[in-house]
Amino acid sequence: MPAPERIPAERLSAPEPAVEPSGALPRPVGAPDAPAAPPRPAVGLPDAFLADGELTVRGRVQEASNTVLYCTVGYDGRTAACVYKPVAGERPLWDFPDGTLAQREVAAYEVSRACGWDLIPPTVLRDGPYGTGMVQEWIEPPGSSGEVPALLALVDGDEPGPGWKAVGRAQLGAGRTALLVHADHPRLRRLAVLDAVINNGDRKGGHLLPGADGRFYAIDHGVTFHAEDKLRTLLWGWAGEPLTAEALEVLRRLRTALGDSGPLTTRLAGLLTDTETEALRARVAGLLSSGRHPEPGGGWPAVPWPPV
């Protein structure tokens, strides 16, 4: 079996999106004329840092389908980089009529935090220069000497090889196909469980960002928490396999936290509808009952497009 053909990192994770100067945007009141370059942030900013700090727009991330603004946030004498997605810059989704992308992004972070897996960067809902929006810690990519882990790859043949899990055949053009695989990595497997819990309808390779700390982080969770099954992901490699003991314990904790007066239920109030919260509880219960990773259903495309 030949070694997997590694997909270029820029196609998988786009670790350093191009940012336009903030002059391309309407200037917020009080914006400086010559913004200074932000310092390198540490992963894991306190929520209060993002929620209460002074938010300053520095530029706009290119090629995003909705408005994504690169900002700095200053708090208690420190400054860090963050992403700000104002609700006013969202494009409505016909199949997600309730709530906003920003609310669901924050709800996904709250569930991730309750799991204790630290998979989603700290995320809050707050007011900003362009109104209410989601603010999330910016994930600093590895430096030139940093190792970017291979999470997705293409394989010639029908077997994924050691350390990889098969997703399915991918069309490469000119009649050529290859087997799309993802790493058999414990952090990636935890993310597959989290995506099943939040009903992620858009888990692409580009939503996995390698951080300067050597770990990857998951972003872009606006298409989540639908009451109907919408799970679309590239992480089908464990489909039908038994959940790990760790995952089952986390799911049991989530079930308790999602009780009528549970702490997670309280934090999700105002972010999700009652119907969405009830569906969330049902998904947790269903995973505990089956004890297995979910398998693709027939009523919804199993893999997002484009996949990367």
Region 248-263: what's the mean pLDDT?
Answer: 96
Per-residue pLDDT band at 142 (split at 50, 70, 90):
confident
- Tell me 116's DSSP state: T
Bond into 121 cis (ω within 30): no
Alpha-helix runs per DSSP H in the chain? 9-12, 47-52, 101-115, 186-198, 245-257, 263-268, 274-290
Region 95-113: what's the mean pLDDT?
Answer: 89
Region 247-253: what's the mean pLDDT?
Answer: 98
pLDDT surpassing 50 at residue 40: no
Enumerate the domain spans of the chain: 14-137, 152-290
CA distance 233 to 112: 17
Region 107-128: what's the mean pLDDT?
Answer: 95
CA distance 286 to 56: 43
* Other CB atoms within 10 A of residue 279 CB: 18
What pLDDT score does 17 carry?
42
Q: What is the DSSP string of 35-82?
A: PPPPPPPPS---HHHHHHSEEEEEEEETT-SS--EEEEEEETTEEEEE
Would you state the structure tokens that stand for residue 178, as one six-digit string?
């290859």
Tens of pLDDT along 206-237?
899 988 777 899 999 999 999 999 999 999 99
Would you state the structure tokens that stand for residue 109, as one six-digit string?
């972070």
User: For the purposes of burial, counting CB atoms within 10 Å of the CB of 246, is it exposed (0-12), middle (13-18) or buried (19 or more)?
Assistant: middle
Residue burial 19-29, b: 16+ Cβ < 10 Å; e: rest: eeebeebeeee
Region 192-202: what's the mean pLDDT?
Answer: 96
CA distance 186 to 163: 11
- 199: three-class secondary structure by DSSP: coil
> Measured in whole angstroms, how far is the alpha carbon of residue 165 from the centre of its chain?
20
Write out the H or E segment, with its range, that includes residue 183. strand 176-183
CA distance 168 to 128: 42
CA distance 203 to 217: 12
Per-residue pLDDT band at 147 (split at 50, 70, 90):
low
Task: Tell me which of 36-40, 70-74, 79-83, 90-94 is least confident.
Answer: 36-40
Tens of pLDDT along 271-301?
999 999 999 999 999 999 999 999 998 766 7
User: What's the angle, vertex CA 208, arms to CA 119 and CA 95, rounded to 5?
Assistant: 90
User: For the purposes of burial, counting CB atoms within 10 Å of the CB of 114, is it exposed (0-12), middle (13-18) or buried (19 or more)?
Assistant: buried
Task: Tell me which of 6-10, 17-21, 30-34, 144-148 is least confident.
Answer: 30-34
Region 99-104: what's the mean pLDDT?
Answer: 90
pTM: 0.84
